[in-house]
Structure formats: C-alpha cells, structure tokens
C-alpha cells in the first residue's frame, strides 16, 4: 500500500467519529508501531490531539526494553505516552484471555481519564486469518468464525481497529520506508503457542490462494451472515417470547418451529440477557439444555435456570448464582436490579428473596411464573427479617427497577 492509500484508509475509519482527542495502543511490535505512525500523521493533518498507551502485563522478560522503544518512537513523533501496569494475575483461569480482558479494561479507564472516546488498536488481516484458523480447529460456528469488528465498545470507550484489512507485511514495508524500528516479541517464534502454529500454516496455505487477506474476507462475509441470523432471531423473539420480572418466557411450540440455528441463538440470548455475561455459553451446554427442554426437563446453565412448565420455557436467574449476593441499598444488585426505597435505615440490605422470603406471601403466584423465577428476585432485608419484596408486593415505599428493561431483550439481539 502507498502512503496515500494508508492516509485515505485511516481518514475513512476516523471520519465517522466526532473527536476532541483520540488514543492509540502501542505494544512495540511492528503492527502497533505502524499504527502509531499512521495515527500521528492523521493527528498532525487534522489538529486532533493524540495520546499513546502501552500496557505492561509483567508476564515476561524484555518488556522494559520494548516500552523504552515505544517511548522513544512516541517522542520522535511528538505523541504523549503513558505506560500502565497490570498486576491482576492470580494463576487461575486462562491467562491469555484474562490478560486480554485486563488490557482492554485498563485502556478504557486510561481513555476516560484523558477525555478520550476512541482508542485505535493494531489488529491486522493476519490476526483475522489466524483467529479464523484457530476457531475452525475448534469447530466454531458462524459467530466464532466471524471477523473481529472494526469498532467495539468497552466501558463507554470505542476500540477501533482500522488496519483489519491490511496485511502485516505491508505495515513492515511502511516502517522501513519511514526508518522506524520495532520490537519482535520472542514468543512469535515459539511454536508452543497455537497462534504461531497457525501463522506457519498460513505460509503453507498461501500458494493455494488461502492467504491472510483472503481469509480475512471470508471472516467478514461470515460477519454479514451473523448479522442476518441475529436479525431473524430478534423477529423470532418478538413472536415467541415475553419478559416478566426479568424472566424470559418462551412459547415452546413456537420455539420448536424455528430453524435449528435461530432456536439456538434465541436460547443463548435469553441466557445472556438474564445473567449479563459478556460471552455466550458453550455450544455443548446449550445443546444439553435444548435436549432437556424437548423432554420437558428443567436444567441450569451459566447461572440461569431453564424451567419447563405447561408448554412454556422460563429462563430465569438461578438462586444459587445470587444466594450469597448481599449489597447496600444503593447498589446495582446482580448487575441489573436497582431497589428504591427509604434510605434512612442503614442496616437494610438487598439480597435474594429465597425460600424464607417466598413463604411470607402468596402474591407471587399472580405473575404466572414458576417459583424458581421468584426465588432469585431482589428483596430488602434487615438481618434475617424480610422488610420488603418490592417486585411481588408493590407498596408505596419500595420499588425495584430492572436496569436492562424488558425492551432491551430485543435490543440486545439487534445490537449483536
């Protein structure tokens, strides 16, 4: 690509954002240094302030030298540079996934402190292709194989990936032309990492026409297919679902008439809307729930209870997922309920209604929901004494508001 083509690409990606300032995440590798160069050039042309951030995960040797390189390159381009450090790894879970989530969270927090709405990331067509191959190896469906989005949201900050259609080698050519140096991550030669093995596989596939840019196009095509599937899932939700007290009620006859993939998506979105998770449940777990539904058997998955009763399926919060969840009156309980009432009694707290609270009233039966859906609703407690169950018995003093209202169930489908 020529300098003019790069400039047009960046201008096109940035033009839809009304910016006072923007950021760029720089690790020191060739992709991010090239992005830094392009963003600095755009900032100079437009007069918009640019800030750079690097995240030090503290997970390997050599990062200090890479960060010094980034600082030097930022100084050369007259771009202010900030380094933030992550110390949150406790040895549990998937390291790469945890580090990635932490990186995005740190970037978003930094952006907000600098009044930055958009931060550019250096993902390329090669990253798209490598990710596609890795997910193919795991038998992923359309969502897993679809391309990374050019823009996504994190804590109110837009993460922009303007180089997703650009080959990694084109960026190296740009850096050579600009006499800019970059750091090579030693892990790029470690074939213990799946991504590096896929990178080698891409080199072998390139003579057959399966190069990074071709596979990136395939991933983009699958993104278009995902949008179409989500649209039809939203239409199915309007026809087959109702929302009552934060529970999604599905008409089983209409659900069973749906195409297999639309039915699966509808169930997944109901579960994610109820539990507020960032990621979908595993396909195998969803299949087990669907089998149970077909047999009229209730089941649980990812903090949700899926209750089968009289030709309907109810997706509600599982009591065990919130049993120990106790919060002050001003909290967003379970990430979705806001309880409103007298604030002068400091000993009050919000906790699930549970079996003890359920026994105090028969009013819950009027809502037509199974008892499992009622048990996990928020209630007001003082020690072991139930003060109010605002969703079941609407009194003048207490109310509970669903932060993600019933209308957002359909909106959630459309937004994905």
Q: What is the CATH number of the domain that holds 247?
A: 1.20.59.20
| 206 and 250 together in one domain | no
Q: Which long-range contacts (CB under 8 A, 24 or more apart) does 398-404 make?
A: 398/339, 398/340, 398/341, 399/339, 399/340, 399/341, 400/337, 400/338, 400/339, 400/340, 401/337, 401/338, 401/340, 402/246, 402/336, 402/337, 403/332, 403/335, 403/336, 403/337, 403/338, 404/273, 404/276, 404/336
| 306 and 287 together in one domain | yes
* Final residue of a structural domain among 180, 210, 240: 210
pLDDT digits (tens, 9 = 90+) for 334-386: 999 999 888 677 789 999 999 999 988 888 888 999 999 999 999 999 988 99
| 385 and 275 together in one domain | no
- pLDDT value at residue 190: 65
pLDDT digits (tens, 9 = 90+) for 244-262: 999 999 999 999 999 999 9
On the question of pLDDT at 103 being above 50, the answer is yes
The whole-number average pLDDT for the span 272-287 is: 90
Number of compact structural domains in the chain: 3
| 386 and 312 together in one domain | no
| 267 and 334 together in one domain | no
**Beta carbons within 10 angstroms of residue 414's beta carbon:** 12
Assess if residue 217 is contained within a domain: no
Confidence tier at 148 by pLDDT (50, 70, 90): confident
Alpha helices in 211-282 (DSSP H): 212-240, 252-256, 260-275
* Final residue of a structural domain among 159, 182, 210: 210
| 232 and 278 together in one domain | yes
C-alpha to C-alpha distance for 319 and 269, rounded to whole angstroms? 20
Both tokens of 272, joined, read 């994610």
Residues near 36 by beta carbon (within 8 Å), at least 6 away in sequence: 24, 26, 52, 70, 73, 74, 77, 79
- pLDDT value at residue 116: 93
| 235 and 182 together in one domain | no
Q: What is the pTM of this model?
A: 0.78
Assess if residue 216 is contained within a domain: no
Q: Give me the domain span that covers residue 154.
A: 3-210
Percentages (nearest 5) of helix, strand, coil residues in the chain: 50, 20, 35
C-alpha to C-alpha distance for 99 and 159, rounded to whole angstroms? 17
Assess if residue 124 is contained within a domain: yes
| 253 and 273 together in one domain | yes
Assess if residue 218 is contained within a domain: no
| 72 and 194 together in one domain | yes
Assess if residue 215 is contained within a domain: no
On the question of pLDDT at 87 being above 70, the answer is yes
| 299 and 366 together in one domain | no
| 152 and 95 together in one domain | yes
| 228 and 241 together in one domain | yes
């Amino acid at each position: 690509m020529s300098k003019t083509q790069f400039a047009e690409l960046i201008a096109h990606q940035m033009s839809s954002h009304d910016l006072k300032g923007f950021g760029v995440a720089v690790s020191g590798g060739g992709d991010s240094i090239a992005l830094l160069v392009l963003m600095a050039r755009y900032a100079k042309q437009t007069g918009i302030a640019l800030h750079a951030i690097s995240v030090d995960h503290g997970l390997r040797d050599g990062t200090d030298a890479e960060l010094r390189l980034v600082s030097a390159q930022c100084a050369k381009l007259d771009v202010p540079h900030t380094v933030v450090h992550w110390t949150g790894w406790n040895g549990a879970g998937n390291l790469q996934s945890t580090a990635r989530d932490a990186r995005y969270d740190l970037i978003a927090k930094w952006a907000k402190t600098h009044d930055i709405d958009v931060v550019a990331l250096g993902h390329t067509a090669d990253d798209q292709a490598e990710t596609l191959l890795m997910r193919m190896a795991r038998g992923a469906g359309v969502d897993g194989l679809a391309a990374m989005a050019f823009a996504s949201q994190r804590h109110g900050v837009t993460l922009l990936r303007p180089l997703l259609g650009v080959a990694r080698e084109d960026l190296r050519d740009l850096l050579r032309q600009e006499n800019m140096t970059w750091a090579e991550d030693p892990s790029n030669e470690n074939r213990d990492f799946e991504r590096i093995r896929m990178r080698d596989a891409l080199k072998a596939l390139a003579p057959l026409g399966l190069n990074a840019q071709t596979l990136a196009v395939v991933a983009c095509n699958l993104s278009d297919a995902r949008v179409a599937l989500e649209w039809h899932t939203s239409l199915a939700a309007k026809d087959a679902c109702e929302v009552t007290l934060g529970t999604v009620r599905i008409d089983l006859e209409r659900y069973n008439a749906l195409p297999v993939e639309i039915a699966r998506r509808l169930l997944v979105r109901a579960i994610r809307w109820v539990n507020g998770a960032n990621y979908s449940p595993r396909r195998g777990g969803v299949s087990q729930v669907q089998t149970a539904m077909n047999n009229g058997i209730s089941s649980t998955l990812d903090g949700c209870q899926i209750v089968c009763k009289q030709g309907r399926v109810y997706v509600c919060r599982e009591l065990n997922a919130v049993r120990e969840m106790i919060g002050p009156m001003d909290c967003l309980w379970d990430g979705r309920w806001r309880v409103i009432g007298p604030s002068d009694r400091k000993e009050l707290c919000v906790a699930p209604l549970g079996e003890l609270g359920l026994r105090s009233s028969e009013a819950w039966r009027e809502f037509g929901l199974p008892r499992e859906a009622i048990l996990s609703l928020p209630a007001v407690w003082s020690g072991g004494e139930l003060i109010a169950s605002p969703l079941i018995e609407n009194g003048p003093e207490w109310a509970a508001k669903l932060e993600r209202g019933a209308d957002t169930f359909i909106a959630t489908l459309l937004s994905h």
